[in-house]
A and B are shown apart, each in its own frame.
Chain A
Amino acid sequence: MGVRTWIESWPVYRQLTGDDPTGRGAAAKSPESARRTPRTATADTVVKSVCPYCAVGCGQQVYVEDGRVTQIEGDPDSPVSRGRLCPKGAASLQLTTGPAREQHALYRRPYGSRWERIDLVTAMDMIADRVIEARRQGWQWEVDGARTRRTLGLAALGGATLDNEENYLIKKLFTALGAVQIENQARI
């Protein structure tokens, strides 16, 4: 490194001589930062999305590199949010890729004291059997002489964080099963 380069690497020199007199921009930038490129610049694809938290519906851009989500930013195109995200929305990279996400299907036996891993397809088959049996046990053709054609044997709660398409299938399936105790956060 020559003397000139050495002097010019001082932030205070750059602040005094450059076009960043307050020292909050280029003058304060280290060579290390200058060499780096943002994850958003190297992403393979940018996928349009919507923030999953509150119902404002801020636009998000999801940056993907090598099949992994590397960054989530606000979408400046959105007339709702104009590129902004709140602390929750800005943390959604951690929500979607953080280590706290459980990645295995788990099973707790009746009276058991711990979780066990369970094969996902096996779990689905067991759940289907239990849905059929609870439905049968709670079945009511009528109440006080009026036809009800329903079951009170099973219930579902949840939907406000889901997609419309998911809610549609839940309501459709459980209505056909005769389940009426289908609820979500809208009432809570």
Chain B
Amino acid sequence: MAECHPVGFQWVMEAKARGAKVVHVDPRFTRTSALADLHVPLRAGSDIAFLGGLIHHVLARGKYFREYVLAYTNAAVILNEDFRDTEDLAGVFSGLDREGRSYDNASWQYAGMEVQAASGERDKEYDRRTGGERSVSESGRGEAHGSGGAPLGGGEPRRDETLTDPRCVFQVLRRHYARYTPELVEEVCGVPPELFRQICDLVTENSGRDRTTAFAYAVGWTQHTVGVQYIRAASILQTLLGNIGRPGGGILALRGHASIQGSTDIPTLFNLLPGYIPMPHAHRGEDLDTFVAAEAPRKGYWGHMRAYLVSLLKAYWGDAATEENDFCFDYLPRLTGSHSTYETVHAQLDGVCKGYLLIGENPAVGSAGAKLQRLGMARLDWLVVRDFSLIESATWWQDGPEIATGELRTEDIGTEVFFLPAAAHTEKDGSFTNTQRMLQWHHQAVEPPGDARSDLWFTYHLGRLVKAKLAASDTERDRPVRDLTWDYPTKDGTAYGEPDAEAVLAEINGRDAHGRPLSSYEQLAPDGSTSCGCWIYCGVHADGVNQAARRRPGREQNWVAGEWGWAWPANRRILYNRASADPDGRPWSARKALVWWDAERGTWTGHDVPDFRAGTPPGHRPPPDATGADALTGSDAFIMQADGKAWLYAPAGVVDGPLPTHYEPQESPFTNPLHPQQRNPVRHLLPPHPDDRFHPVGRERGADVFPYVATTYRLTEHHTAGGMSRWLPYLAELQPEFFCEVSPELAAERGLEHTGWATVVTARGVIEARVLVTDRMVPLTVQGRRVHQVGLPYHWGPNGYTTGDAANELLHLSLDPNTHIQETKAFTCDIRPGRRPRGPAAAALVADCRRRAGIDEHTGREP
């Protein structure tokens, strides 16, 4: 955090100054470790064993917050009797289809009822919830369905308030983590038991009524084949300790781009519509009603999905969206399996995808399997790159690594390339959503230079031109384009003027039937009388005022600072903060008060905006036929959930299991000591490709060709793929060269010299880096063996003021099956002294390593 979010880290130091203990768990000793009370080096890729060990400790020693757990979680819920745990089935859950690489999650459900998830892969429930057919899917992975299953859910789940029923979630959890002892933690993570015990004590002593513990993770946690399960493991721990929805608690994702949160909320992502409404999958005979019936739960705020979706369709298609035509639901394109950026690369290689727009992103350096990215672009008809400078993704046809090796020749590449310079944040109005869900408006200071324009300008005028060119078309295919509302005012009123960003924000916020701005998503209607471009952002333009531009100085406000910017939803700064009060609505302790029930006034109140319907008293019991938010009880603090509870166990929504289980990464020098299942059996693999091969693992023949663990990361002085940092002389000077970090022990083992060169090689590629020999890289003892880890910052590429090889040349495409995020944080490699070969010899070295390791298209692909 001190490295990548240094200004945010000031608050950790504030807390430390007030007595908080800071623990840093990371394979590397970084600037964060230097300021922490305790640094815990662990083997990259072993975090579920580590967190599972903490869960085991909490359960075995009775350290959980029992009242919180009983009131606000699903610990007491009785599970379906067909459910089988990984402890019963040698490392897999019930419902695994090995051939199809997917789980049928019917047996994971609650006994006697079926709940829908508040996020994640909701399409899995489609057939059970509609009686309709399964999704059409090219791979089956992630979308496959079983037949039958639990009946459509009504009523409330069965509970055992004593938490003793062997089939209740609490007991299932206890059995699942029974073997995650300090000894197992040592065997998997390389963390000695006495060190691990210190962490257990620090975390549990600092949790409860009077104290809370926070977990902060940089999004490296997501970059694993079990990335979602990493976060789930932290969620289970934090929920057991009562650290969710309370001040000083939570699990804080430290995201790395100014609006990466915003680009997830208002997604430029294939599987989502704005506000986390799922993109529809292709089903025969699907209409708006069946979609909503399949995706929306009966209870909680997701019960109003129809209102959110219809309001979005009205924002998109305006008057053309009517009750009679299902509000143009049919205009939405439908998914068949994953269409993630990595599938897109394969679609380019296969000649299906012919045009590509890169908008402030540099995949030729920044994406795993960088070579595949470039090979894909070389097959395109056309490519548009919008950026500040000529990044590698714009110039690969001229001077990319494949030109150097002779694998591609410029004169043979047919891709037409447009480079359009982009406006900077100082040259346009707009809002960023930061990592705490807060929107902050930045104002235009000056006009962009030359041909530079905002991406708002580019998208608006592209849409305007396409609409004009299709205006005379009478084909059904073009109707969604013709009917699209696209009449944004330009600031200067000219044909090619800059669109008014606040007019777009007003559309995102939404309007009522009279065109007046809405102030809350509670006002959204399912009948087409409201429009709203992103339901969770409803209220950001309340009263026609840009709430994201509010800047009341922090020193003039309380510690929540609710009048600076605007946080979704409804300007709440801490999600699920109803849980900061006990079931009767009183703060768990005066020290940790955040929101509470004011019985005299009959309303929730407090320092933050309550994340709960203001007038619902703590003792409220809804009538049995209530739906949506009306069905929430006065103590259902987790208002988005189908049962109003935090899920210690996830009966739906997570495709690779209801509980996190330790699996080894795709590539690991070790055999999984926990069970015979080496890797996540449903991890997402892309089709085999000669430049995307996997390594043998554990005791397999050839694994010793790649004996070291590697992990990639960022530095303070650079930014992701370097497009916003390698072209700046200041930053280039501060961090002038690509390097790898190795321990003195590994340096001695491989003859690596400090400040000399090293060649790092995998089955995908070879790179060179300056060697940084440092005690910060601590060799670990795992399963009685010494393991070395190699650290690789991934900012570099061949262009800019500071140049170097891209670490992503080394990476493979084995992905988390929920998020389709690649495993860049734990893989294996070899490292040797000296510079890498040039020209065709570079490709020959990689081929030789593959041959020596016996690698073919089947290696590492077993479920």
Contact = CB atoms under 8 A, between A and B. Distances in A.
Interface of A: 45, 47-60, 62, 64, 67-69, 72, 76-82, 84-92, 94-96, 98, 100-111, 113-115, 118, 120-121, 123-132, 134, 136-139, 141-173, 175-188
Contact of A146 (B136, B384, B486): B136
Contacts of B719: 53-54, 88
A77 B440 CA distance: 13
Contacts of B426: 47, 49, 62, 69, 72, 96
B331 interface: yes
Contact of A56 (B5, B315, B505, B720): B5
**Contact count band on B:** 35 or more
Given A163-B430, A165-B505, A180-B335, A86 B716 contact: yes
B15 interface: no
Contacts of A59: 440, 551
Contact of B431 (A96, A127, A163, A178): A163
Interface in B316-351: 316, 330-336, 339-341, 343-344, 347-348
Interface string B549-592: 10101110100010011000000000000000000000000000
A130 B330 contact: no
Contacts of B679: none
Nearest to A66: B446
A104 B258 CA distance: 25
A1 to B, nearest CB: 37
Nearest to B799: A100
Contacts of A115: 419
A123 B465 CA distance: 12
Contacts of B274: 168, 171
A183 to B, nearest CB: 4
Interface string B352-381: 111111111101001110000000000001
Contacts of B389: 100-102
Interface string B252-279: 0011111111111111111001100001
Given A62-B445, A113-B411, A124 B282 contact: no
B413 interface: yes
6 contacts: A84-B10, A100-B801, A156-B357, A182-B268, A187-B269, A187-B821
Contacts of A127: 382, 384, 418, 462
B850 interface: no
B223 to A, nearest CB: 9
Given A149-B331, A158-B360, A77 B553 contact: yes
Given A50-B442, A57-B258, A149-B333, A79 B554 contact: yes
Interface in B421-466: 421, 424-428, 430-436, 438-447, 449-456, 458-463, 465-466
Interface string B461-484: 111011001100000010011001
Given A159-B360, A177-B466, A182-B268, A48 B442 contact: yes
A159 B260 CA distance: 7
Given A96-B425, A161-B257, A170-B459, A102 B282 contact: no
A179 B10 contact: no
Contacts of B466: 128, 131-132, 173, 177
Contacts of B353: 138, 152-155, 181
B856 to A, nearest CB: 28
Contacts of A188: 341, 363, 366-368, 821-822
B465 A153 contact: no
B418 A118 contact: yes
B178 interface: no
A110 B434 CA distance: 40
Contacts of B533: 168, 172
Nearest to A79: B554
Interface in B723-744: 724-725, 727-731, 734
- Chain A CB count within 10 A is highest, among B286, B357, B534, for B357
B282 A146 contact: yes
Interface in B269-304: 269-270, 273-274, 279, 282-284, 286
Contacts of A88: 716-719, 724-725, 731
A172 B508 CA distance: 11
A187 B340 contact: yes
Nearest to B466: A128
A98 B5 CA distance: 24
B730 to A, nearest CB: 4
B534 A168 contact: yes
B169 to A, nearest CB: 30
Contacts of B266: 164, 167-168, 171
Contact of A183 (B256, B268, B332): B268
Contact of A165 (B357, B504, B551, B716): B504
A49 to B, nearest CB: 4
Given A155-B344, A159-B268, A148 B336 contact: yes
Nearest to B824: A188
A155 B265 contact: no
B398 interface: yes
B405 interface: no
Nearest to B261: A55
B354 A55 contact: no
Contact of A134 (B336, B354, B459): B354
Contacts of A85: 7
B333 A178 contact: yes
B443 A47 contact: yes
Interface string B800-844: 110000000000000000011110000000000000000000000
B361 A185 contact: yes
B411 A162 contact: no
B222 to A, nearest CB: 9
B854 to A, nearest CB: 31
Contacts of B358: 156-158
Contacts of A50: 258, 425, 432, 434, 440-442
B501 interface: yes
Given A57-B435, A168-B533, A102 B388 contact: yes
B836 to A, nearest CB: 25
Contacts of A169: 456, 459-460, 463, 504
Contact of B424 (A84, A95, A131, A152): A95
Contacts of A179: 333
